[in-house]
Amino acid sequence: MPPLSLIPPGRAGRASPLAHLRRLDCPSELRAIARGGYVTHRVFFADEATAVAAGYRPCARCLPTAYRAWKDDTLARQREERESRPPRKKTV
């Protein structure tokens, strides 16, 4: 499967209320649709940038490289936020 950036415009969508950006041929997506899931929650985007701007994250199953980059970035941001907070006061 090509990375998300190589997917032609209009060929990526979201099919989960959990805001996962998936390829339209994602195996997990197709299994869920076959069971009757996701169909009412499907949203389609013209491109990756639009989906990311809308708050969707890449699917770990069909977009593993994009997912790893997203996860690494998210964890780094969370770590920075934790480290920049003042220490908590201990209560007895």
CB neighbours of residue 15 within 10 Å: 24
Q: What is the pTM assigned to this prediction?
A: 0.65
Q: Which tokens in the block code for residue 82? A: 């934790």
**Does the residue 19 lie in any domain?**
yes
Expressed as residue numbers, the domain containing 37 is 4-84
Q: Which tokens in the block code for residue 83? A: 């480290």
**Does the residue 92 lie in any domain?**
no
- Please give the helix or strand (H or E) that residue 45 lies within, else none: strand 43-45
**Does the residue 91 lie in any domain?**
no
Q: What is the CATH number of the domain that holds 58?
A: 3.40.10
**Does the residue 43 lie in any domain?**
yes
Residue 20's pLDDT is 80
Residue 11 and residue 24 in contact, taking contact as beta carbons nearer than 8 Å: yes
Cβ-in-10-Å burial (0-12, 13-18, 19+) of 29 comes to buried
Domain tally, the chain:
1
**Does the residue 90 lie in any domain?**
no
Mean pLDDT for back-to-back runs of 10 residues, the chain (92 residues): 51 57 87 84 84 88 92 93 85 74
**Does the residue 89 lie in any domain?**
no
